[in-house]
Amino acid sequence: MTDKPNPSSAVVSAEDLRRQMLETQLADMEKEDKLRERKREELAKFTDDFFNKHVGPQEQSLIRNVVARAVKDGKMEALVYTFPSDFCSDSGRAINSADPDWPQTLQGKAKELYDRFKEVAQPQGYRLKAMVINFPGGVPGDIGFYLNWEPPAA
């Protein structure tokens, strides 16, 4: 004689399912909290570096590599540096509106890179264009510096 399985023993209670769902939601919230905290820490580190340190050899090398790759790909321009528009004294408004005085709003490493461009690269025939490259929530997000080496228009 075979024992019949108890049909109620295989069924998980509704309370157990709700508890499992709640545990899953809590675990997901913890993951999101950790990710937000890591992003905050990364931004704090980037901000400190941007405002308190100088452009180092590693960043200079990276810019040279980006330009070399663009040349190899047959391009005449390359995005060589990005930073949050909030790092400009006017949150990027002058750059967004193409105000000729936009360089005066630069701070930190962006100002240092611009000053180096004016001193070293511009006399060699390079041009630098700054523009807002994204608009999260409809407001200026990141600023991009584009280095250009096209021949002058005739």
Confidence of residue 142 (pLDDT cuts 50, 70, 90): very high
Domain-embedded: residue 1: no
Position 143 pLDDT exceeds 60:
yes
Whole-angstrom Cα distance, residue 114 to residue 133? 17
Q: Is residue 109 a part of any domain in this protein?
A: yes
Both 118 and 81 in one domain: the answer is yes
β 77-84/127-132 pair status: unpaired
Using the predicted structure, report yes or no on whether residue 1 has a pLDDT greater than 60: no
The 10s digit of each residue's pLDDT in 107-123 is 999 999 999 999 999 99
Tell whether 5 is covered by a domain. no
DSSP string for residues in 52-75: HS---HHHHHHHHHHHHHHHHTT-
Looking at the domain assignment, is residue 7 inside a domain? Answer: no
In a domain, 29, yes or no: yes
Residues contacting residue 101 through CB under 8 Å, at least 6 positions apart: 94
Shared domain check, 126 and 88? yes
Give the confidence band of 11 by pLDDT, cuts at 50, 70, 90: confident
64 and 138 both lie in a single domain: yes
Q: Is residue 107 part of a domain?
A: yes
Q: Supply the pLDDT for residue 10.
A: 74
Are 81 and 142 in the same domain?
yes
Structural domains of the chain, count? 2
Has residue 2 been placed in a domain? Answer: no
Q: What local confidence, expressed as pLDDT, does residue 12 receive?
A: 87
For residues 80 and 43, membership in a common domain is answered with: no
Residue 133 neighbours by CB under 8 Å, 6+ apart: 79, 82, 141, 142, 143, 144
pLDDT tens digits, one per residue of 44-72: 998 999 999 999 999 999 999 999 999 99
Given a contact cutoff of 8 angstroms between Cβ atoms, the answer to whether 78 and 66 are in contact is: yes
Evaluate if residue 2 carries a pLDDT over 70. Answer: no
Total residue length of the chain: 154
Expressed as residue numbers, the domain containing 79 is 56-148
The average pLDDT across 90-95 equals 95
